[in-house]
Amino acid sequence: MDRETTQYTPETDDANEVIDRKLRQHFDGKIVRKDLTKAIKEGANVPVYVLEFLLGQYCSSDDPQIIENGVANVKRILSENFVRPDESQKVLSSLRERGSYTVIDRITVSLNIKLDRYESDFSNLGIRGIPISSDYVSKYDRLLCGGIWCIVGLEYEYIEEDKKSTPISIVKLTPIQMPHIDMDEIKEGRKAFTKDEWITILLRSAGMEADCFSKREKWLQLARMLPLIENNFNLCELGPRSTGKSHLYKEISPNSILVSGGQTTVANLFYNMSSKQVGLVGLWDCVAFDEVAGITFKDKDGVQIMKDYMASGSFARGKEEKAAYASMAFVGNINQSVDVLLKTSHLFEPFPEAMAYDTAFLDRMHCYIPGWEISKYRPESFTNDYGFITDYLAEFMRQMRKEPFGDACDKYFRFGSNLNQRDVIAVRKIVSGFTKLLYPNGEFTKEEVEEILTFALEMRRRVKEQLKKIGGMEFYDVNFSYVDNESFEERYVSVPEQGGGKIIPEGLTNPGNVYTISQGKTGMIGVYRLETQMLPGNGRFERTGLGSDRDAREATNTAFNYLKASGNAISRSISTTLKDYIVNYQDLNGIGMTKYLTLPTVIALASCALNKPTLSSLVVLGEISISGTILKVEELASVLQVCLDSGAKKVLIPITSAPELGTVPSDLIGAFSLIFYSTPQEAVYKALGVE
């Protein structure tokens, strides 16, 4: 997709002015200039959403003078009233000496049933059980749901006679987060903007400058918001460093928590059985894991409980089953290029081993964002324009979690036959999330739904493609499609990275070069390349690349001994006494060497001795014993699937495997020219294209 220019033209200037004007008209007091946020954020360690709320109150204007005075006000308020945890005792002392003091702190309210009163806890100030009027609670219900940041006027009066009560009382409380949000206002305001304008606003609200990104990059960045707007949504994003993978979950939303460092416990994440408290999944809308490579559970059953939760949104601990709504986001770095990763392994490889090869865990991923497609952030990637106050955006997304939009596509489209139940659930969740983000008022056209559906199918297919690599034929059905309800036309959706970079090249290879596909040491099916050299000598046979693998060495010895015994039957030109042979074995997928190397080695040695290359794009399957008995191919369907993914066009296959072709899907068989052989000699002739 063509990258949109980052340079401002008069048109983009006008477009930005139009957006700013509409924002001031429909969302006055809910917007803020993001350059002001950046300027103050660098000097004040307060959450972005607190800072922006204050800026929205004091700097919502075009007048430079008003903005300047507003910024000065915000800075003064923060320096005088913001409570740093290490200065809490100093603030309490000032409160006692002065008799009154105004603080900025996070307030959480709970109902004390024994005393029949509401009590507040101050996060940074470190004081608990301060009585608070029920008027504030009914007015700002978010105080009861995890707490909000407020400017609080406190008074201090110690009464000698009443030693049990606290001397601190709340005189005035003003929220500096959105205490509640009018959803009708947003839905009505959305009508004033086009789809592209709304996308620009959403990205600017998260601090990004939309004009610096291509259309594709904008959609990928919006996808990061899905765990915040959709309940129990599992997302994975792996990519290069500094592309902002964890930025959204850490800075933008007060409803998400970023678990850094990786190590966690079941008690912390799900449920603490001794204290009877629900963990992070019950307290936050989204739990994001930074640097997935380091995720470890101190408990052995950690991954199992996580799998249960990711599939059903509930988990069992002790005698109880608990439900929670938190989404899970897994972000991390890919250390090599995607092409290399796809050729040698799979896209989930950066995960720890307990997860990376667990197909049941990976199948629960609803969406895989290709982080390598998002360009690295530069200073110009961050906006200086107007956007929503981050808290307003976060609260909008939080409220939208309650509304299901998963059936948005049913009116116009239905899913193709290759999607199983898990795939359908995943795609519906992505469609639902995107529809809520882009069309919260529920007004959209068929073309707009199709755009979302295509994107959703691609994000899920990326997960399925990797599962196919790891789990073989169980996950064969990856050709995702959707059918138009009117025209009954079926359209297929592909993933961009699957296209190129085939392991097996087209065209003729050098004599002695052979490709084979079989099970490696780990039990996974991989591609192996043999490269052979022939030198004048006295019949020595050297092998490189096998290391200390005894089974592989024995298989190659069997091949050379077979040639010694039967080489003349193939061709009198093959000499095992006057020539030396060196064969290099390469494990192209990095899954451990295979032991099925006898027949490929025989063909490689014969090809080199006769100076004749094998057929183009050929893969050799099957194995022989020392007496020349043909052995059939194990897991034929899975092996043929890997042949297809690796770029093979012709497959040399033993006749003993012919009965098993009935277990292979017909479109897979149709993808190759199958060449059958019944003896080792025939295998050599047909591999070299000799009649």
- Which residues on adjacent β-strands are paired with residue 332? 238
Joined tokens for residue 636: 């034929």
Residue 432 confidence class, pLDDT cut points 50, 70, 90: very high
Burial zone of 466 (CB within 10 Å; 0-12 exposed, 13-18 middle, 19+ buried)? buried
The pLDDT score that the predictor gives to residue 223 is 93
539: left (phi over 0), alpha (psi -120 to 50) or beta: left
Indicate the residue type of 36: L
Residue matched to tokens 């490689």 = 604
116 burial class (0-12, 13-18, 19+ CB within 10 angstroms)? Answer: exposed
Average pLDDT in the 506-520 region?
88
Residue % of the chain over a pLDDT of 70:
94
Do 677 and 512 meet the contact criterion of CB atoms below 8 Å apart?
Answer: no
Point out which residues pair with 526 in neighbouring strands. Answer: 518
Query: Residue 585 — very low, low, confident or very high, per pLDDT cuts 50/70/90?
Result: very high
What residue type is 11 in one-letter code?
E
Q: Name the strand (E) or helix (H) holding 652.
A: strand 650-654
Q: What is the pLDDT of residues 644-665, one digit of tens each?
A: 878 889 999 999 999 988 888 8
Q: CB 527: neighbour CB atoms within 10 A?
A: 26
pLDDT for res 262: 62
In this predicted model, what pLDDT tens digit does every residue of 267-279 receive, in sequence order? 888 887 777 777 7
Q: Which two tokens stand for residue 308?
A: 């249960």
The helix-helix angle for 48-58 and 64-81 (nearest 10°) equals 140
Contacts (Cβ under 8 Å, ≥6 apart) of 388: 27, 30, 31, 32, 201, 205, 396
Nearest to 437 by CA among 398, 472, 469, 467: 398
Average pLDDT, the chain: 85
CA-nearest of 149, 119, 160 to 51 is 149
CA distances from 630 to 596, 597, 606, 682 (A): 12, 13, 18, 11
pLDDT of residue 473: 63
Quick one: tokens of 620? 């050799």
183, 403 Cβ separation under 8 angstroms: no
Res. 474 pLDDT band, cuts 50 70 90: confident
What is the CA angle 518-520-522, rounded to 5? 140
- Interatomic CA distance for residues 191 and 198, integer angstroms: 10
Mean pLDDT of 335-348: 75
Residue type, 477: D
Higher pLDDT, 223 or 271: 223
The larger pLDDT score, comparing residue 556 to residue 44, is at 556
The closest of 545, 585, 537, 577 to 560, measured between CA atoms, is 577
Question: Looking at the predicted structure, is the pLDDT value of residue 4 above 50?
Answer: no
Range in 148-162, 264-278, 308-322 with the lowest mean pLDDT: 264-278
Calpha distance 279→271 (Å, rounded) = 5
622-649: per-residue pLDDT in tens? 998 877 789 889 888 888 888 887 888 9
Q: Rounded to an integer, what distance in angstroms lies between the CA atom of residue 359 and that of residue 113?
A: 48
Q: What pLDDT does residue 3 have?
A: 41
pLDDT category, 402, cuts 50, 70, 90?
A: confident
User: What mean pLDDT comes out for the span 270-299?
Assistant: 80
pLDDT digits (tens, 9 = 90+) for 163-219: 677 889 999 998 877 667 788 888 898 999 999 999 999 999 888 888 888 999 999
pLDDT of residue 508: 79
* pLDDT value at residue 221: 92
Is it the case that residue 2 has pLDDT exceeding 50?
A: no
pLDDT of the residue at 49: 75
Q: Decide if pLDDT at 13 tops 80.
A: no
Q: Which of 229-233, 563-567, 596-600, 620-624 has the lowest mean pLDDT?
A: 563-567
Structure tokens at 114: 């024994």
CA dist., res. 421 & res. 29, Å (int): 44
Kindly report which listed range (34-43, 62-71, 417-426) carries the lowest average pLDDT score.
34-43
State the distance between the two ends of the chain, measured CA to CA, in whole angstroms: 48
Average pLDDT over residues 608-614: 91
Examine the pLDDT at 298 and tell me if it is beyond 80: no
Q: Which one-letter DSSP state was computed for residue 599?
A: H
Residue 70's CB is within 10 A of a number of other CB atoms, namely: 20
Closest CA to 148 of 244, 50, 54: 50
Report the 10 Å Cβ neighbour count for 561.
14
676: confidence class by pLDDT, cuts 50, 70, 90:
very high
**pLDDT tens figures, 487-511:** 888 888 888 876 544 678 777 788 9
pLDDT at 234 over 70: yes
- Comparing CA positions, the residue from 557, 565, 562, 518 lying closest to residue 540 is 557
- Average pLDDT on 379-389 reads 86
Whether pLDDT at 580 is above 60:
yes
Quickly state the pLDDT bin for 618 (edges 50, 70, 90): very high
Pairing type for strands 386-388 and 314-317 reads unpaired
Looking at residue 438, what is its pLDDT? Answer: 92
Q: What's the full length of the chain, in residues?
A: 691
> What is the rounded CA–CA span in Å between residue 183 and residue 72?
32
Which runs of consecutive H residues, i.e. helices, occur in 27-102?
34-41, 48-58, 64-81, 88-98
Report how far residue 587's alpha carbon sits from residue 627's, in angstroms, rounded to the nearest whole number.
27
Lowest mean pLDDT among 122-136, 310-324, 526-540, 544-558: 310-324
User: Which position has the higher pLDDT, 6 or 605?
Assistant: 605
Residue 189's identity, in one-letter code, is G
DSSP secondary structure string for all residues of 577-589: SSEEEEEEEEETT
Measured from the Cβ of residue 253, the count of other Cβ atoms closer than 10 Å reads: 26
pLDDT digits (tens, 9 = 90+) for 242-268: 888 888 888 777 788 888 766 677 888
Residue 604 near residue 532, CB atoms below 8 Å = yes
How far apart CA 210 and CA 372 sit, in angstroms, is 18
User: What DSSP designation does 147 have?
Assistant: -
Residue 58: predicted pLDDT = 78
Distances in whole angstroms, Cα of residue 120 to Cα of each of 80, 111, 170, 281, 452:
22, 9, 9, 23, 44
Whether pLDDT at 65 is above 70: yes
Q: Calculate mean pLDDT across residues 587-615.
A: 89
With bands split at pLDDT 50, 70 and 90, how would you rate the model's confidence at 15? Answer: confident
